[in-house]
Amino acid sequence: MVITSTATHPDEQAQSIVSTFASRYVREPIPRFKIPEKSIPKDAAYQIINDELMLDGTPRLNLASFVTTWMESECDKLIMASLNKNYVDMDEYPVTTELQNRCVNIIANLFHAPINEDETAVGVGTVGSSEAIMLAGLAFKRKWQTKRKAEGKPYDKPNIVTGANVQVCWEKFARYFEVELKEVKLTEGYYVMDPVKAVEMVDENTICVAAILGSTMTGEFEDVKLLNELLTEKNKETGWDTPIHVDAASGGFIAPFLYPDLEWDFRLPLVKSINVSGHKYGLVYPGVGWVVWKSKDDLPDELVFHINYLGSDQPTFTLNFSKGSSQIIAQYYQFIRLGFEGYKNIMENCLENTRVLKEGIERTGQFNIISKDIGVPLLAFSLKDSSQHSVFEISDQLRKFGWIVPAYTMPPDAQHIAVLRVVVREDFSRGLAQRLVSDIEKVMKLLDSLPSTVSNKTAHVTAITNETGEKIKKSATETQREIVLYWKRLVGGKKHGAC
């Protein structure tokens, strides 16, 4: 006789009891858009929310995000212990302020800022690279305006030169602070800003040229050294002093450890400020970012506020005021816990897992690799043949295996190229890379067995007719361009609730 045990773990039993209790106690549905009339037990409130959160994706399988999804338990304890500390209360929490200053100095030294050992670097912690970019942009705008006023010249039409591949925070800065964004368009096969074209777009109203160390689209590093050389020549010819900002949100904690000889930072004379995301490859939970300036002269004094109503004179240069201290403390933990050696080992491991993933994708024979070997550890790849199915379908099917792999089109003028992108983080192991390749192969076999949604919906894609009525086959690029346009319309419709 076979005896089947029905015993469950004590934690599972307790959770089941709480869940049952919550469903019995809370007889009325919880209103979604207004505060409930009555209180409920804390266990019931917890269970209701916990049950809903179960429908979220799994963070470690979210390969769309650059953001850190795992930290050591010791750091988790520090984070929990400092949740109630307001970062801005410098007088009340002087040690936290000191830890932030240490982090700024560590980052400034990583980026080769020209500071002595006894000097304090110029920089600040932010809630992410978006705020950091806003602050850096404001500093450039104010310095440019001050100079133009002194020269008696117009100062009402500032602009920034960037590539079309910039993150949306640059568009936000331009719109919020009334700065024209001049974008260098991309081309097929070249998905980053062309330094030559960028310098050609610079004029007397350009407050800075923004270069990206680690494009969001492909992970590729832009050639900051060449940009510095070309812009130096133009400044000499024109008498301008147009500077460079480096958006190193993704690559700032990659390059110093994997490519130490790459010149992209404060070693270049025109690079005046750099931002980096601590919550990406800085290996800290969201949200923390950093912005550092080469020297005090690069941050106008009038942008720094001084307050004394928290107990002493405190300088502040942020867009928001109150925020938690946890991520600042977590960043310092990672710096002293890992050291240069630890960060280097983790980044090398990420790079190796990217290589494993790339080899697996190439073996399928169905994809073109878009990303480069040097850059942020990620893999961007497109379908060799999009006439039957699209990368958007692959992304959708991978969801059924638990993977969140984004599909998107490239920025102008390469928007006819659609890709999948996998970000390789610290917690993405070799085993997960192999499993993902296996699941992609399963998806491709499944799609091959299904009718082509592309050919059914866009039958006109494969051929056009000339004036004599003869059919002319379109090029692969033209075909892919129309397929991408169809799927963009379909996805856009879903976002707006249309069928």
Q: Residue 55 class from Cβ within 10 Å (0-12 exposed, 13-18 middle, 19+ buried)? A: exposed
Distance CA 281, CA 251 (A): 8
What pLDDT, on a 0 to 100 scale, did the predictor assign at position 192?
A: 97
How many Cβ atoms are within 10 Å of 246's Cβ, its own excluded? 29
What's the whole-number average pLDDT of the chain?
87
What is the per-residue pLDDT across 54-95, written as a single tens digit (0 to 9) for each?
999 899 999 999 999 999 999 999 999 999 998 877 778 889
What pLDDT, on a 0 to 100 scale, did the predictor assign at position 312?
A: 56
Checking if the pLDDT of 486 tops 70, the result is no
What pLDDT, on a 0 to 100 scale, did the predictor assign at position 16?
A: 56
Distance CA 85, CA 243 (A): 37
Whether the link from the prior residue into 297 is cis, omega within 30° of 0, is no
Per the CB < 8 A criterion, the answer to whether 342 and 348 are in contact is: no
What is the per-residue pLDDT across 419-454, written as a single tens digit (0 to 9) for each?
999 999 999 999 999 999 999 999 999 999 999 877
Where is average pLDDT lowest: 45-54, 169-178, 448-457? 448-457
Per the CB < 8 A criterion, the answer to whether 483 and 452 are in contact is: no
How many residues can be counted in the chain?
Answer: 499
What is the per-residue pLDDT across 406-417, written as a single tens digit (0 to 9) for each?
999 999 999 999
DSSP assignment string, 121-151: PEEEEESSHHHHHHHHHHHHHHHHHHHHHHT
Per the CB < 8 A criterion, the answer to whether 269 and 232 are in contact is: yes
Distances (CA, A) of 264 to 220, 251, 375: 13, 11, 12
Quote the strand ranges of 166-254, DSSP E: 180-184, 206-212, 244-247
What is the per-residue pLDDT across 314-368, written as a single tens digit (0 to 9) for each?
677 888 878 889 999 999 999 999 999 999 999 999 999 999 999 999 999 999 9
Checking if the pLDDT of 384 tops 50, the result is yes
What pLDDT, on a 0 to 100 scale, did the predictor assign at position 471?
A: 40
Checking if the pLDDT of 139 tops 90, the result is yes
The encoded tokens of residue 160 equal 């920034």
Of these ranges, 75-89, 176-190, 449-463, the one predicted with the greatest mean pLDDT is: 176-190
% of the chain residues with pLDDT over 90: 75
**The model's pTM:** 0.85
